[in-house]
Structure 1
Amino acid sequence: MARLNMEWEHAQMKVAEVGNRRTASNMHFAVLQGELESLARQAEWLRSQLAPASQEEQLDGEE
C-alpha cells in the first residue's frame, strides 16, 4: 500500500510538472504574440511615414 501511495504521489508530481511547463509555454506565447503585434503597429506607422515621401517622389518624376 505504501508503494502505491508513493507511485500515486509521483504521478501527481509529474502531472503538476507538465501543467507548469504548459503554463510557462502559454505565457511565453502570449509575450511573443504581444511583441509581434507591437512590431506590426510599428511597421504600419513606418509605412504611413514612407507613403507621403513616395507619393512626392512620384510627383517629382512626373514633372
Structure 2
Amino acid sequence: MTGQDKTQPDELDNDAIGAAIADAIERANFGLDLKRQGVTTVAIDEGGRLVEHRPDGTTTLLS
C-alpha cells in the first residue's frame, strides 16, 4: 500500500464528517435551544442591528 492509498480513506472520512457537521448546523436552532434553557441571547437582525432576545419573548434593540 502506498502512502497515497492510505490517505484516501482518511480524506473520505473527513469529507463525510464535514458533510455531517454542515447538515447539523443547517438544522440547528441555537436560539430556541437557549431560550428553553432560560438564556438571553443577542442576534443581528435583517437591518444589521444588534437585538437582545430574552427567554420571555421580549426583545430590545441594542444598536
Q: Which interval holds the TM-score relative to the shorter structure?
A: 0.3 to 0.5
TM-score between both structures, scaled by the size of structure 2: 0.47
Instruction: Give 1 or 2: higher strand fraction.
Output: 2
**TM-score scaled to structure 1, two decimals?**
0.47
Structure with the bigger RCO (C-alpha within 8 Å, sep 6+) is 2
Larger proportion of helix: 1
